């Protein structure tokens, strides 16, 4: 119950890494709002946890549409009265391709979710945290590819690099208000939507080179997210924790 009496928003909290974080927070006593674009998936994830006795709500939100962010914040406050934790997890991993073939449309589509949406949602949530004078924990789910060269990913990597810089800046700006801002950089984390990629023999060399000799699971990231949301990390801000089995050191 490390997060007892805390209220968290988890964007993209209905599937993959986001779902694992939502479930971990609920088990640790937090009340959680799942923000997800897909209503059917979000409602199902919320209902499953509610049926288990946890306090979980769903608010349909496309974070690339800034007008929906006010509604997310308002609904969270209406249902639970406060916001203590924000996890900026929602992101697009799509339309990879050579740098010279990246179009403005593809760039804008990925940037609108991965960077712009997270930026402005954080702006709104941080304002509420400051007004409430309760402090808070803000966590960005970045990626270890922001610190390495990866083919066909320039537009995606740029958004994650932007998040890493944003974390450092916001840690300094929001620290005086008692708000911790940190990032988690996952590596090769298995999610069902990417099963085909993980099972492709052509990619096995990537996994074999990981020092811990295994692909990560969403729960590995959720463990770090619980740590950064709880009191054990009260004196940590501006950090970026790699959850990648040591991939960055190879």
pTM over 0.85: yes
86-100, 138-152, 161-175: which has the highest mean pLDDT?
161-175
Asked if pLDDT for residue 149 goes beyond 90, the answer is no
Asked if pLDDT for residue 92 goes beyond 90, the answer is no
Burial status of residue 210 (CB atoms within 10 A of its CB: 0-12, 13-18, 19 or more): middle
Asked if pLDDT for residue 62 goes beyond 90, the answer is yes
88-102, 166-180, 202-216: which has the highest mean pLDDT?
166-180
Helix H, strand E, coil C: the string for the chain is CCCCCCEEEEECCCCHHHHHHHHHHHHCCCEEEEEECCHHHHHHHHHHHHHCCCCEEEEECCCCCCHHHHHHHHHHHHHHCCCCEEEECCCCCCCCCCHHHCCHHHHHHHHHHHHHHHHHHHHHHHHHHHHHCCCEEEEEECCHHHHCCCCCCHHHHHHHHHHHHHHHHHHHHHHHHCEEEEEEEECCECCHHHHHHHHCHHHHHHHHCCCCCCCECHHHHHHHHHHHHCHHHCCCCCCEEEECCCHHHC
Asked if pLDDT for residue 45 goes beyond 80, the answer is yes
Give the pLDDT band of residue 146 (cuts 50, 70, 90).
confident
Asked if pLDDT for residue 93 goes beyond 80, the answer is no
Q: What is the mean pLDDT of the chain?
A: 95
Q: How far apart are CA 171 and CA 106, in angstroms?
A: 30
Are 140 and 186 in contact by the 8 Å Cβ rule? The answer is: no
Domain 7-190+219-242 carries which CATH code?
A: 3.40.50.720
Give the pLDDT band of residue 162 (cuts 50, 70, 90).
very high
Give the pLDDT band of residue 147 (cuts 50, 70, 90).
confident
Asked if pLDDT for residue 97 goes beyond 90, the answer is no
pLDDT of 194 reads 83
More confident residue, 84 or 94: 84
Give the pLDDT band of residue 234 (cuts 50, 70, 90).
very high
Q: In the predicted model, what is the mean pLDDT of residues 34-57?
A: 97
Q: Which residues of 76-113 are buried (b: 16+ CB within 10 A; e: fewer)?
A: beeebeebbbbbbbbbbbebeeeeeebeeebbebbbbb
Asked if pLDDT for residue 169 goes beyond 80, the answer is yes
pLDDT digits (tens, 9 = 90+) for 199-215: 888 888 889 999 999 99
The catalytic residue positions are 142, 156, 160
Using a pLDDT cut of 70, give the percent of the chain over it. 99
């Amino acid at each position: 119950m490390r997060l007892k009496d805390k209220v968290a928003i988890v964007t993209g909290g209905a599937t993959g890494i986001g779902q694992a974080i939502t479930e971990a927070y609920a088990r640790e006593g937090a009340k959680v709002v799942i923000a997800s674009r897909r209503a059917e998936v979000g409602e199902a994830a919320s209902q499953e946890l509610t049926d288990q006795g946890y306090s979980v709500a769903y608010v349909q939100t496309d974070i690339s549409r800034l007008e929906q962010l006010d509604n997310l914040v308002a609904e969270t406050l209406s249902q639970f009265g406060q916001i203590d934790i924000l996890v900026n997890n929602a992101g697009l991993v799509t339309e990879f391709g050579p740098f010279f073939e990246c179009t403005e449309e593809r760039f804008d589509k990925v940037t609108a979710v991965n960077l712009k949406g997270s930026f402005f949602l954080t702006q709104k949530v941080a304002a509420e945290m400051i007004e409430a004078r309760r402090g808070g924990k803000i966590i960005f789910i970045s990626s270890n590819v922001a610190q390495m060269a990866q083919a066909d990913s320039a537009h995606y990597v740029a958004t994650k690099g932007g998040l890493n810089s944003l974390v450092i800046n916001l840690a300094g700006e929001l620290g005086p208000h008692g708000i911790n801002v940190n990032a988690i950089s996952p590596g090769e984390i298995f999610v069902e939507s990417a099963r085909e990629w993980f099972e492709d023999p052509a990619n096995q060399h990537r996994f074999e080179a990981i020092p811990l000799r295994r692909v990560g699971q969403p729960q590995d990231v959720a463990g770090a997210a619980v740590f950064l949301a709880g009191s054990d990390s009260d004196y940590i801000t501006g950090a970026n924790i790699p959850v990648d089995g040591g991939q960055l050191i190879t």
